[in-house]
Structure 1
């Protein structure tokens, strides 16, 4: 008897008020190619949660279903202040679901769409929280592989020194590191093209350094308003990630310190061996380059800009027409 997939495929309004696996759907809060996320009420514990329903074809694949259940349990075991806690994961009526803490706020995608590029202090403060979460996942043997602004939630912080609290989400869709390629067994690419590492594209084994690359793409976008590579079609974009060199940050933000270009070039290196070993190492180097402060015991990062193909600029580059320094809500200048 075929599974009923109407829980996922119906119109969003069809599920409002319905009960699914002990959760009452209240409203839709997000939708992507692989899942729909709802705000829901946990009827057993009387708390609000984010309930993600995965596409039905994923549940029909036995390998994916077992892997999803296992890795959701691993993700649920990670206790980290910048990882959205996973409460439960399972299957109901042929649809895989995962229940997580509901985070009031918005994601970085909406923030960038509304505010535009961020100040370097704001961008690095957000990035270091994401980096801490990613490194914690790597310590548990998980590689996120889909780091993007839409998976970075920005909630209200505690004070002027901590104006936002950042959460990384979607660990229920991660894939175990080292042994898996960039494609799932149901033929779907894992990752978002604007932020995908070269080794994911070529199907090579991946580790946490692919998340370093993706985080660097996100940082580039937070500082310039666009990811490092923009092309007219998907194939050209995939080619760019594998073979083209990213533009220098200072070509779009000339007020940034020139060493920042070298840090991004290293984080976006085509070979994982040429990148930073961890996400925190990358963001720490970025902050040091931006401020001119060198961490104790660490020499400044030196990157031969000619070797990596990043152009050097003899002088200041005019700001693009209409560009204005953004004001990030609540941040201290």
Structure 2
């Protein structure tokens, strides 16, 4: 992938890889602006209707004016794989912070919680539910303007809506494809149609 062009960006190096796909660091050819490109796994990219809904929601979330939402610059398909070009963040996930430092200070936790709640208030107000809120999807970046010096960015809106099974009932296997079991609300296990903003509050 290194050296390949996606939109007006050239892929420089890998940033990460998971079950949903890969994330690459890229640089805009003309201005040199860096961005992160998420390329979804081929198996997830097979259903055009699902990918269209995913792209539409990603763009919709990106257009909500909130500093805790990652900006999306472009969306499309690279061969048979869907991709998003998004804001490049430097920092670490909340999961990495907890693993590295153990229990966090209460004042820090309260600050992170307040920021996450602010993001969710904005997205829920726009009718969008995350459905996969967890420490791995909370990213921490430096921001000298904030009291504690860090800003929360909520990642991967729309990812949890991929590979939804037909009909309201789900097995444990299908439920795990649209959420993370340890953070899923009871209604999310039972029926995706019943999942709303309260699912995010539970997580």
TM over 0.5: yes
Match of 2:122 among 136, 140, 143: 136
1:28–1:39 Cα contact (<8 Å) kept = yes
Distance 1:52 1:86, change over 3 A: same
Kindly state the Cα deviation for residue 173 of structure 1 after the two structures are TM-superposed.
Answer: 1.9
1:98–1:172 Cα contact (<8 Å) kept = no
Distance 1:188 1:19, change over 3 A: farther
Which residues of 2 match residues 1-333 of structure 1 at below 5 A? 15-158=1-144, 161-175=147-161, 189-204=177-192, 205-214=194-203
Kindly state the Cα deviation for residue 68 of structure 1 after the two structures are TM-superposed.
Answer: 1.2
Deviation digits for residues 126-162 of structure 1 (CA, Å, limit 9, x no counterpart): 1111111111111111100111111111111216823
Q: Distance in 1 between matches of 2:51 and 2:145?
A: 42
Distance 1:48 1:182, change over 3 A: farther
Q: Distance in 1 between matches of 2:38 and 2:78?
A: 12
Give structure 1 stretches of 5+ with no counterpart. 1-14, 215-333
2:160–2:179 Cα contact (<8 Å) kept = no
Q: Secondary structure at the match of 1:165?
A: strand
Deviation digits for residues 171-224 of structure 1 (CA, Å, limit 9, x no counterpart): 242549xx97778xx98621112211111111252111100011xxxxxxxxxx
Q: Pairwise CA RMSD of aligned residues?
A: 2.4
Count of residues paired in the alignment: 196
Q: Secondary structure at the match of 1:162?
A: coil
Larger strand share, 1 or 2 = 2
2:175–2:189 Cα contact (<8 Å) kept = no
Q: Distance in 2 between matches of 1:175 and 1:65?
A: 10
1:71–1:175 Cα contact (<8 Å) kept = no
Q: Distance in 1 between matches of 2:72 and 2:170?
A: 24
Q: Secondary structure at the match of 2:152?
A: strand
Distance 1:16 1:167, change over 3 A: same
Distance 1:55 1:180, change over 3 A: farther
Q: Secondary structure at the match of 2:24?
A: strand
Q: Secondary structure at the match of 1:59?
A: coil
Q: Which has the larger radius of gyration?
A: 1
Distance 1:60 1:188, change over 3 A: farther
Give structure 2 stretches of 5+ with no counterpart. none
Kindly state the Cα deviation for residue 53 of structure 1 after the two structures are TM-superposed.
Answer: 0.5
Kindly state the Cα deviation for residue 42 of structure 1 after the two structures are TM-superposed.
Answer: 2.3
